[in-house]
Structure 1
């Protein structure tokens, strides 16, 4: 059964202690949270205790690439303590997907990170934006990357839609490597609240279930009201 979570990047502008943010996420009805680089100054042990008290699980976290490459052991130790079983590359720039050669180099780089984490029993996922879908030859940067890396994939349905591709088709095509689906909505390339944009969210949720994905993760990069967005995301995902 697919579970729901919120990527905490969505509430980075919320001026509240991490403990209260987690409490709001739990009260909204999410099964878990996805950390994205910020921990509110809390230690891994403190976070783990509070998450346990709230009965909140943790998805593979978004982790800065510099940290993944410089000290994978520390990354694994922290995130394993809070309950994650993997890490996600959240961003690599457009220049790394601008040609087939650049994309192949990027795939090798990500595979290097994945191998380092695998030494500790940790999985690595890759989160896309729209620039990975740069067209060259008869394919896209995303397809070349996906076909040449062993990393898991975290499809972001909003960015896939913005790039002019079908997020359902992407989820279905790479389903064996998809554990987490980012449920972001977009309105003509602009961020919007989930359900108000161009993405067929029900079809994406159905596809995620069809491929046995583990998580539907709500994300809104620029919510007008981050606190209200916590509840809006949870209510929408619960209805899918």
Structure 2
């Protein structure tokens, strides 16, 4: 059953030291955090102590591919010090998905990085450009097929939905390659992000697909939101994720 976590990008405008922010995240009921930004400037010892004290799991970290290529050993060592065993390439430009050949090259680039990460797992996070139709199938599926299990995927169900993709189908077919999903909701008419449960993304259906018997299942449902996110609203976010993604309240 997917556990709730939060991508720290969502709280990038909050002016608090990272350990204090982690305390508030734990108070809200999240089980894990996904790092981005700010962590490089934080007191690593204080961050690790807070994670341990509050029993927060460092789910993964978003790291641009250029940094991973420049010094993969240093990046892997830094995040391992935080207890983080998964790194995520958050984005590749649209040119990487313009043709099947381009996708194959992108896959080779990701696999080369994975080989240099000394056992830390590498995932790729989608936006919308990955779902361009290349003829036989979308580029996102081409990328999965072009890579082996050295590369995992963090399926952003909001971006996928706005691109016209079916996240439930992707989870059914590629669930063994998707240990993490990014959870967000959107209004399909306007293309705008909206609070969880208030838009058109079938989060309940995606949650059922993510935990379907006989499939590997998703480990983490990571909340990400654009714009201002209030610390006071985090408690409700956790409740919504548990209801929509795990049906926890409905099954009790």
TM normalised by structure 1 equals 0.93
CA distance in 2, matches of 1:79, 1:5: 17
Structure 1 unaligned residues grouped into runs of 5+: none
Contact 1:154 1:182 in 2 (8 A): yes
Q: What are the equivalent positions in structure 2 for 1:33-182 lying under 5 Å apart?
A: 33-39=33-39, 41-117=41-117, 120-150=118-148, 151-182=151-182
User: RMSD over aligned Cα, in angstroms?
Assistant: 1.5
Look up the SS of the partner of 2:122 in the other structure: strand
Structure 2 unaligned residues grouped into runs of 5+: 245-252
Give yes or no for the alignment of 1:214 onto 2:214. no
Large movers: runs of 4+ above 3 Å: none
Q: Give CA-to-partner distance per residue, 1:98-150, whole Å, 9 cap, x none.
A: 11121111111111111111xx1111011111110111222211111110012
CA distance in 2, matches of 1:58, 1:17: 17
Contact 1:183 1:217 in 2 (8 A): yes
Look up the SS of the partner of 1:60 in the other structure: strand
Give yes or no for the alignment of 1:239 onto 2:243. yes
TM superposition shift of 1:209:
1.6
Contact 2:33 2:60 in 1 (8 A): no
Partner in structure 1 of residue 231 of structure 2? 227
